């Protein structure tokens, strides 16, 4: 894991699962897919403690959360195949680490490049002129852009970027070949804005930083107030 605070240990003899089940939870069997939360003053004596909270399974908990969320794409077997980044083809092809994926809107290509902290290549098209658009970038900046005049559109519903449902936000995020072409879209979408690719890259970075900050805050808050 990339977080320097996390240590990963490989339990080749499968000793930890039964030990934690018996010693920590008092149950028999094998403990897996679970979490154990300890405070900053925890000590390891006969067993680590004091234990603030524990739970599982994590996989089941994630499934329950996803069921409450809108705009999640599933395949016929019930597997998640899309939520911002998708395995299902869209207008915006997003290739990262050799894997071809898709995003729901133009801005997502910049957001997920920053979140994943990996170089990405984007292939899209202008919905007005049908002109192909190609973009290569890293989390630090744009390395290639064709055509160089490309801009993106976005709509901020009710003035809040937090309301980013697919129908209200993502479906309005396009790449346009030029600002002039984008202006024709803007005429029919007075609540929209047009951004240069450079500005879109900066916005994607800011949104990624904001999401990471919120995630860290929630982890800290949960640890302090279980």
Given 68, 88, 116, the domain boundary residue is 68
* φ and ψ of 120, to 5 deg: -140, 155
Averaged confidence pLDDT in the chain: 83
Judgement on whether residues 41 and 105 belong to the same structural domain of the protein:
no
Lowest mean pLDDT among 74-83, 122-131, 139-148: 74-83
pLDDT in tens, 88-113: 999 999 999 999 999 999 999 999 99
Judgement on whether residues 99 and 178 belong to the same structural domain of the protein:
yes
Q: How far is Cα 177 from Cα 129, in angstroms, rounded to an integer?
A: 7
Domain for residue 222, yes or no?
Answer: no
pLDDT given for residue 226 in this prediction: 38
Judgement on whether residues 109 and 172 belong to the same structural domain of the protein:
yes
Judgement on whether residues 170 and 80 belong to the same structural domain of the protein:
yes
pLDDT given for residue 224 in this prediction: 42
Q: What is the pTM of this model?
A: 0.69
Judgement on whether residues 105 and 170 belong to the same structural domain of the protein:
yes
Structure tokens at 225: 């107030």
Domain that holds residue 42: 1-68
Across the range 105-130, mean pLDDT stands at: 96
Does the pLDDT of residue 40 top 90, yes or no? no
Domain for residue 223, yes or no?
Answer: no
Judgement on whether residues 39 and 101 belong to the same structural domain of the protein:
no
Q: How many CB atoms lie within 10 A of CB 3?
A: 7
Nearest to 113 by CA among 90, 91, 88, 92: 92
Given 68, 83, 99, the domain boundary residue is 68
CB within 8 Å of 80: residues ≥ 6 apart: 66, 72, 73, 74
- The CATH number linked to 204 is 3.30.450.410
pLDDT given for residue 173 in this prediction: 94
pLDDT in tens, 67-92: 777 788 888 888 888 888 999 999 99
Q: Which residues are catalytic?
A: 105, 108, 170
Q: What is the count of structural domains for the chain? A: 2
pLDDT in tens, 159-188: 555 456 777 788 899 999 999 999 999 998
Domain for residue 134, yes or no?
Answer: yes
DSSP 144-200: EEESTT-EEEEE-GGG-TT---TTTTGGG--EESSHHHHHHHHHH-TTEEEEEHHHH
pLDDT given for residue 222 in this prediction: 46
CB under 8 Å, gap of 24 or more: what pairs does 155-160 form? 155/189, 155/191, 155/192, 155/193, 156/191, 156/193, 157/191
Given 45, 68, 91, the domain boundary residue is 68
User: Which stretches of the chain are DSSP H helices?
Assistant: 16-23, 58-67, 106-116, 179-188, 197-224
Domain for residue 57, yes or no?
Answer: yes
């Amino acid at each position: 894991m990339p977080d320097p605070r996390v240590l990963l240990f490989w339990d080749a003899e499968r000793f930890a699962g039964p030990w934690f089940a018996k010693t920590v939870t008092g149950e028999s069997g094998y403990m897996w897919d679970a979490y154990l939360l300890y405070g900053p003053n925890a000590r390891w004596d006969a067993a680590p403690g004091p234990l603030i909270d524990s739970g599982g399974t994590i996989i089941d908990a994630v499934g329950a959360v996803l069921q409450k969320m809108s705009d999640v794409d599933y395949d016929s077997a019930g597997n998640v195949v899309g939520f911002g980044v998708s395995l299902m083809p869209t207008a915006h092809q997003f290739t990262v680490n050799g894997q071809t994926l898709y995003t729901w809107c133009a801005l997502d290509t910049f957001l997920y490049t920053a979140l994943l902290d990996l170089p990405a290549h984007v292939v899209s098209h202008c919905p007005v002129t049908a002109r192909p658009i190609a973009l290569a970038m890293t989390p630090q900046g744009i390395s290639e852009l064709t055509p160089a005049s490309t801009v993106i559109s976005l709509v901020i519903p009710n003035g809040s970027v937090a309301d980013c449902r697919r129908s209200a936000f993502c479906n309005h995020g396009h790449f346009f070949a030029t600002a002039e072409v984008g202006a024709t879209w803007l005429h029919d979408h007075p609540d929209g804005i047009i951004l240069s690719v450079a500005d879109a890259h900066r916005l994607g970075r800011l949104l990624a930083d904001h999401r990471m900050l919120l995630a860290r805050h929630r982890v800290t808050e949960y640890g302090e107030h279980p």
